[in-house]
Amino acid sequence: MELIFEKSKSDGEKGGAYLPQCDVPEVSLPKELLRDKLSLPELAELEVVRHYLALSRRNMGVDVGFYPLGSCTMKYNPKINEKLARDPGFAALHPLAEEAAAQGALAMLYELEEYLCAITGMEAYCLQPSAGAHGEMMGMMLMRAYFEDKGERRTKILVPDSSHGTNPASAALCGFEVVQIKSDQRGNVDMQDLRDNLGVDTAGIMMTNPNTLGLFEEKILEIAELVHGAGALLYYDGANMNALLGQCRPGDMGFDVVHLNLHKTFSTPHGGGGPGSGPVGVCKRLEPFLPLPRLVKKGDAYVWGEDKNKSIGRITTFHGNFAVMLKAYYYIRALGADGLKRVSEDAVLNANYLLELIREKYPPGYQRRVMHEFVVPATPQKEKGGSALDVAKRLIDYGYHPPTVYFPLIVPEALMVEPTETEGKKTLEAFAAAMLKIDEEIEQDAAAVREAPTTTPVSRLDEVKAARELDICYKDQE
């Protein structure tokens, strides 16, 4: 497909563009901001429309087809929430508006904090973090500030090998030494390895529950007792919270810090780097360390308060990604307690149903019910000349976005699949049929499958070369 610059007319014709007359004084830009050569494409309106419509048809999205990325929860989200988030009363509100002029927005934020406390069993929330990893970093900052305030030097964070990949990075970024904890044969934290590494220098443990294997931690209460007994804290990575809504709460399990991904669990289209929101909830003893300002209610009014002298300080500009929080608020209000519980029930049902459909050819390696997602090793396909990557690439030819591959690292040839709570039975059965057909194709002609995808403009890119040798030059700058 041609670039729009290549489609642009080269014979001096101009594309018709009729713009309203400028209603502000024109100002000349400084010379240093002007490019010597600036050749914008010149196309007629209809050509522009057709060009971008053709591009949109090449995009893969959850509105186009099944998007089973494990741990990413690429689910369909109600479009009404997008429309409501554009309400001028919210969309046109300046983030520096006086409190008296923003009472509706502040009321929404205050109530959202209350809802998240109720859902997770935490004492208080901060909505500032802009994404999950940002929330992780804030959680580690809170834990560090807590121990510094107590005069304790604790330098280590325990991270199970089944946790999300950003957990070790967040802990290291905040100055902690990361200690990996092994998994046992059932996919739980290895309790003996935990005991061996838990000591007076342990600040806490970062856990994803359900973990990246899609399994609920069966000994979570025992883990909480051990960690608290050593004077350490428990951190909960809530990216997989759609598996637990209305069923159980991290606070009741013993967690001291929780981050949620509103853009995954509570209705915001997720992907492409944003937008996101990763609010952090804490237990009572960590509340004094939350970032400022804190939203408080005085009588019937909502105001920003800054009376916490132990606060770690502001961690983002303004008050976080407001539009993402607004959509989460609508989602929670629309579903209510019963609806949120149904979310987790459907997520778990879909994952277990899909796993059963493909289990014979893609055995998971553990005999347990999974939660909202599952991981299967493509080792049987590897033995026949294929690989997890071959399965993923061939799925593109069947019209599906590939699942997550080669993660978690503890599973060889890993295929990580999350059907989400919003997909129907027929979609799951069609995807399973494609997975089984690909296994059959590998058995018959693995070399042919290694050429997939064959229906895309390009097949397999050299991803290592692309990452190491970036080429971002404009053509007229080469």
What CATH number is associated with residue 282? 3.40.640.10
Domain co-membership, 228 together with 371: no
Domain boundary among 335, 352, 368: 335
**pLDDT higher than threshold 60 for residue 1:** yes
Domain co-membership, 167 together with 314: yes
Q: What is the pLDDT of residue 47?
A: 86
**343 within a domain of the structure (yes/no):** yes
Least Cα distance to 241 among 213, 281, 268, 209 occurs for: 209
Residues 6+ apart with CB under 8 A from 166: 132, 133, 136
**pLDDT higher than threshold 80 for residue 321:** yes
Confidence of residue 9 (pLDDT cuts 50, 70, 90): low
Question: In Å, what is the CA distance from 306 to each residue of 107, 116, 296?
Answer: 18, 22, 10
Question: How far apart (Å, rounded) are the C-alpha atoms in residues 61 and 74?
Answer: 9
**29 within a domain of the structure (yes/no):** no
Domain boundary among 306, 335, 364: 335
Distance of CA 91 to the CA centre of its chain: 24
Confidence of residue 271 (pLDDT cuts 50, 70, 90): low
139-193 tens-digit pLDDT: 999 999 999 999 999 999 999 999 988 999 999 999 999 999 999 999 999 999 9
Confidence of residue 391 (pLDDT cuts 50, 70, 90): very high
Question: How far apart (Å, rounded) are the C-alpha atoms in residues 384 and 442?
Answer: 7
The number of distinct structural domains making up the chain is 2
Confidence of residue 272 (pLDDT cuts 50, 70, 90): low
Mean pLDDT of the chain: 91
Higher pLDDT, 137 or 54: 137
Q: What is the pLDDT of residue 478?
A: 44
**384 within a domain of the structure (yes/no):** yes
Confidence of residue 19 (pLDDT cuts 50, 70, 90): confident
Domain co-membership, 397 together with 251: no
Domain co-membership, 194 together with 281: yes
**94 within a domain of the structure (yes/no):** yes
**pLDDT higher than threshold 50 for residue 477:** no
**15 within a domain of the structure (yes/no):** no
Confidence of residue 338 (pLDDT cuts 50, 70, 90): very high
Least Cα distance to 238 among 66, 73, 403, 414 occurs for: 73
**126 within a domain of the structure (yes/no):** yes
Domain co-membership, 301 together with 359: no
339-387 tens-digit pLDDT: 999 999 999 999 999 999 999 999 998 889 999 999 999 999 999 999 9
Q: What is the pLDDT of residue 472?
A: 66
Domain co-membership, 331 together with 371: no
Phi, psi of 258 (to 5 degrees): -135, 135
CATH of the domain at 421: 3.90.1150.10
Task: List strands edge to edge, sheet with 374-377.
Answer: 374-377, 414-417, 404-405
Domain co-membership, 411 together with 382: yes
**198 within a domain of the structure (yes/no):** yes
| % the chain with pLDDT above 70 | 95
Domain co-membership, 159 together with 307: yes
356 contacts 349 by C-beta, under 8 angstroms? no
Q: What is the pLDDT of residue 169?
A: 95
User: Domain containing 442: what range?
Assistant: 337-464
**33 within a domain of the structure (yes/no):** no
Question: In Å, what is the CA distance from 142 to each residue of 122, 124, 233, 282?
Answer: 15, 13, 11, 9
Domain boundary among 308, 335, 362: 335
Domain co-membership, 133 together with 219: yes
Domain co-membership, 172 together with 108: yes
Question: How far apart (Å, rounded) are the C-alpha atoms in residues 166 and 159?
Answer: 10
Question: How far apart (Å, rounded) are the C-alpha atoms in residues 71 and 420?
Answer: 10
433-476 tens-digit pLDDT: 999 999 999 999 999 999 999 998 888 888 888 889 887 664 44
Domain co-membership, 299 together with 341: no
**pLDDT higher than threshold 60 for residue 304:** yes
Domain co-membership, 345 together with 204: no
Q: What is the pLDDT of residue 108?
A: 97
Angle at which helix 322-358 crosses helix 425-449, to 10 degrees, equals 70
237 contacts 207 by C-beta, under 8 angstroms? yes
Phi, psi of 59 (to 5 degrees): -80, 145
Residue position matching structure tokens 């973090």: 129
Give the mean model confidence (pLDDT) for residues 413-437.
Answer: 97
